[in-house]
């Protein structure tokens, strides 16, 4: 059985590729490498012993997508390809809407034209918006995200729901919370370009000496220690969740949270990292970051009930594996 991973050279896609290959699937990657490196493909081979086929293709290009379907017997698609930076989406909303929305539509059109129905979609906790009380449950009516990136994810969820209602696809919308960590080999991991916007890659870049200190964005949140609380999950748990979700797709469209249900604050993550890897991470307290909220936390019960999936790895595992990747690849994929 062949599975197409759009955006498969990226952070979550590459880890999911490993998990799929290890579960016996043929994996085909489609990525235009705008936010990833071709080196990933060799690393996947080093880990699994199998070199996945890579199409350097833009998912908004219908002809390129059709070629992939014509040359391969694809039974399922996991659609990761998207732009994901919140501040970049505020600065370049049209680019974000064009790439993310037209990418999802093009992939589904090409699927429909080639008789492929099964779709796993990379959604995000960001779809819950900024006004709901945590923990977030799938049955909650969504509130408005505060940025174009989040709104593009909400719109894509709606479009996929409509496509499923029309009988074009059977889909699962996986709402990821905060994936961190790396494959235990340290051969693949998160490789942000420029200054990292997210907390974990920033911490590791401070620890390795690429940046002098961490800016802690605000200590006046309504949390245990005043810093933002998030639901971090290990990227390999997340990858396993994709395989389980794909294998159990039902007719229609369903949304499922992938998170641990356990929150960690900024200062707790710094401290867990220091303990796990034995390196001090200096930080300075700064103002809040625009758009941030106090708490983002999953209610993970549905994933366990419907998929039999539960996060297994701890914050310590996440810190240790992130650090292993960072030490082995101090400048990412170069």
> Looking at the DSSP assignment, which residues form a beta bridge with residue 120?
78, 172
CA distance 146 to 46: 41
Tokens of 209: 């000496």
Q: Residue 58 or residue 254: which is nearer to ligand NAD going by CB?
A: 58
How many Cβ atoms sit within 10 Å of the Cβ of residue 134? Answer: 18
Exactly one of 34, 56, 280, 289 binds ligand UD1 (CB under 6 A); that residue is 289
Candidates 74, 101, 173, 216; binder of ligand UD1 (CB under 6 A) is: 216
CA distances to 89, 148, 292 from 102, rounded to whole Å, are: 15, 14, 27
Upstream peptide bond of 135 is cis (omega within 30 degrees of 0): yes
Question: Which is closer to ligand NAD, CB of 98 or CB of 285?
Answer: 98
219 vs 254 by CB, closer to ligand NAD: 254
315 binds ligand UD1 (CB under 6 A): no
Q: How far is the CB of 291 from ligand UD1 (least distance, A)?
A: 4
Beta carbon of residue 202, minimum distance to ligand UD1 (angstroms, whole number): 4
Q: Least Å distance between CB 210 and ligand UD1?
A: 13
Which residues pair with residue 3 across a beta bridge? 27, 76
Q: State yes or no: residue 246 binds ligand NAD (CB under 6 A).
A: no
Integer Cα distance of 201 and 204 in angstroms: 5
CB of 278 to ligand NAD, least distance (A): 26
Are 100 and 126 spatial neighbours (Cβ–Cβ below 8 Å)? no
Binding string, residues 64-103; x marks residues near ligand NAD by CB under 6 A: ----------------xxxxx--------------x---x
* 35 contacts ligand UD1 (rule: CB under 6 A): no
Q: Which is nearer to ligand UD1, 41 or 319 (CB)?
A: 319
Identified binder of ligand NAD from the candidate list 19, 32, 237, 254, rule CB under 6 A: 32
Site residues (CB under 6 A) for ligand NAD, limited to 167-196: 176, 178-179
Residues 198-235 as b/e (b if ≥16 CB within 10 A, e otherwise) read bbbbbbbbbbeeebeebebbbbebebeebbbbbbbbbb
Q: Say whether residue 281 binds ligand NAD (CB under 6 A).
A: no
Closest of 88, 78, 85 to residue 30, by C-alpha: 78
Is 149 a known active-site residue?
yes
- Among the options 25, 55, 128, 149, which is catalytic? 149
13 forms part of the interface with ligand NAD (CB under 6 A): yes
Between CA 85 and CA 203 the distance in angstroms is 18
Q: How far apart are CA 108 and CA 117, in angstroms?
A: 9
| Binding partner selected for residue 74 from ligand UD1, ligand NAD, none, CB under the kind-specific 5 to 8 Å limit | none
HEC profile of 114-128: CCCCEEEEEEEHHHH
Residue numbers annotated as active site = 149
Interface residue list for ligand NAD (CB under 6 A): 7, 9-13, 31-36, 58-60, 80-84, 99, 103, 122, 124, 176, 178-179
């Amino acid at each position: 059985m062949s599975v197409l991973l759009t955006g498969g050279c990226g952070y979550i896609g590459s880890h999911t590729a490993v998990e799929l290959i290890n579960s016996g699937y043929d994996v085909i990657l489609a990525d235009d490498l705008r936010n990833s490196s071709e080196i990933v493909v060799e690393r996947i081979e080093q880990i699994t012993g199998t070199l996945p086929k890579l199409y350097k293709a833009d998912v908004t290009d219908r002809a390129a997508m059709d070629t992939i379907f014509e040359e391969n017997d694809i039974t399922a698609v996991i659609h990761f390809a998207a732009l994901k930076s919140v501040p970049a989406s505020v600065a370049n909303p049209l680019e974000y809407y064009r790439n993310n929305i037209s990418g999802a539509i093009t992939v589904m059109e090409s699927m429909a034209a080639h008789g492929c129905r099964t779709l796993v979609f990379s959604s995000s906790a960001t779809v819950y918006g900024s006004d709901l009380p945590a923990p977030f449950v799938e049955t909650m009516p969504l509130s408005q995200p505060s940025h174009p990136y989040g709104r593009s994810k909400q719109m894509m969820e709606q479009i996929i729901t409509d496509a499923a209602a029309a009988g074009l696809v059977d889909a699962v919308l996986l709402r990821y919370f905060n994936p961190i960590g790396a494959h235990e080999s340290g051969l693949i991991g998160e490789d942000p370009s420029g200054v990292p916007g997210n907390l974990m890659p920033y911490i590791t870049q401070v620890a390795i000496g690429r940046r002098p200190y961490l800016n802690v964005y605000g200590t006046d949140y309504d949390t245990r220690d005043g810093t933002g609380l998030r639901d971090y999950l290990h990227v390999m748990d997340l990858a396993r969740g994709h395989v389980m979700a794909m294998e159990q797709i039902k007719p229609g469209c369903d949304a499922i949270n992938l998170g641990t249900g356990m929150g960690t604050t900024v200062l707790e993550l710094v401290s867990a990292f220091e303990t796990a890897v034995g390196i001090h991470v200096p930080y300075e307290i700064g103002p809040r970051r625009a758009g941030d909220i106090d708490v983002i936390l999953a209610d993970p019960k549905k994933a366990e009930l419907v998929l039999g999936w539960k996060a297994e790895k701890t914050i310590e595992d996440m810190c240790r594996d992130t650090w292993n990747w960072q030490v082995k690849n101090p400048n990412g994929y170069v």
